[in-house]
Structure 1
Amino acid sequence: MKKLLLIFLLSPIITLAQNENSNNSIEQQENRVIVKKCIAGNCINGKGTMQYQTGVYEGYWKSGLRDGEGKYVWSNGDVYEGEWMQDKRHGFGTYTWHDGSKYVGNYSHGIRSGYGIYYYTNGTIYEGTWQNNLKHGIANFYYKESVNIGGKYINNEYVSGTGINQESYNFKPKQ
């Protein structure tokens, strides 16, 4: 009876944890692992390298948390290099996915927030503001043959903007 009661009480927690983890991208998985081991340096306060189940972090630590400049390389080839605070991407950084797409910009408590540039694998570039990991605010969107200047995005959805011929616009961001 005690086993049955324990299973009944814990099943919502187990189900919630499984659903939560299954919806997260590889970008967010480094904090959701149990297996980790300091393999070099000082992983408490200083500079050190930590082996996680999902990859390797090399950089600065404060009170056992990633804090300061650091680089996380996931086992699938994704890489984040930039600033950390209290174990989350925070400040300026570059996230490069294994498929070649890349985000260069600001993070706040682990999410893309503020100004940033996203480079798509097909050559298209989004330059603008982000909120909660979504394109949100005023932005420029650069295509191969044209550019949309001053476009407005709300929660990743394009709302409005003005398109011009890219040949007459010389300020496309460089990778």
Structure 2
Amino acid sequence: GEGVQRYSNGDVYEGEFYQGRFSGSGVYYFYLSGKYEGDWVDGKYDGYGVETWARGSRYRGQYRQGLRDGYGVYRFYTGDVYSGEWCGGQSHGYGVQTCEDGSRYVGEFKRGMKHGFGYYRFRNGDTYAGEYFADKMHGYGVYHFANGHLYEGAWHEGRKQGLGLYTFRNGETQAG
């Protein structure tokens, strides 16, 4: 059936119930902090829903057993946006992260971090295309400087490592 459940902390649920648990469609209002509006299964967010927080952050997408899972878009109150795949409540799989400062990452994520292959455009215009490990440039990658220079080679935890090839704007190359 349908109904309203109020809690002593000020939270309120309005929606469908099944065997005493939130199930079907409903809205849960968190006192002074936000709300979830969407699908429920056995008392947990499950299916499609929208979470909105008082500070202005918002997630719109899929859930599974109470966690963000599947495809969704998270807009942070700061202006940053993550759009892509989620698993177990974290960005995981393929996604696009766009930051308020103009930087942008397109690629693979693992448990909330850049991991795998990706393309990053820095706010100063530099770009990196290559491998990531635990949120850092790691493995093989090509770094284009906004001034036209280019570095191609190995990276370790965000820093150039070992032999790489520099190509300068004028076409000259240098190994280093």
TM-score, shorter chain, exceeding 0.5: yes
Aligned counterpart for 2:119 among listed residues 117, 120, 124: 117
Structure 1 residue 130: Cα displacement:
0.8
Q: For residues 11-64 of structure 1, what are the alpha-carbon distances to aligned partners after superposition, in whole Å with 9 as ceiling and x for unaligned?
A: xxxxxxxxxxxxxxxxxxxxxxxx4520x3226121110113551100001111
- Larger Rg, first or second structure (1 or 2): 2
Partner of 1:42: 39
Partner of 1:154: 156
Residues 82 and 109 of structure 1: CA distance in aligned 2, closer, same or farther (over 3 Å): same
Q: For residues 40-98 of structure 1, what are the alpha-carbon distances to aligned partners after superposition, in whole Å with 9 as ceiling and x for unaligned?
A: 32261211101135511000011111001100001110100000001000000011111
Residues 148 and 49 of structure 1: CA distance in aligned 2, closer, same or farther (over 3 Å): same
Q: Output the TM-score relative to the length of structure 2.
A: 0.69
Distance 1:53 1:98 in 2: 19
Give 5+ residue unaligned stretches, structure 1.
Answer: 1-34, 169-175
Q: How many matched pairs?
A: 133
Residues 81 and 166 of structure 1: CA distance in aligned 2, closer, same or farther (over 3 Å): farther
Identity %: 32
Give 5+ residue unaligned stretches, structure 2.
Answer: 1-32, 172-176
Partner of 1:30: none
1:118 is paired with a residue of what secondary structure? Answer: strand
Q: Output the TM-score relative to the length of structure 1.
A: 0.70
1:100 is paired with a residue of what secondary structure? Answer: coil
Query: Following superposition, which runs of at least 4 residues in structure 1 exceed 3 angstroms of deviation?
Result: 165-168
Are residue 108 (structure 1) and residue 105 (structure 2) matched? no
Higher helix proportion (structure 1 or 2)? 1
Distance 2:119 2:76 in 1: 21
Are residue 91 (structure 1) and residue 93 (structure 2) matched? yes
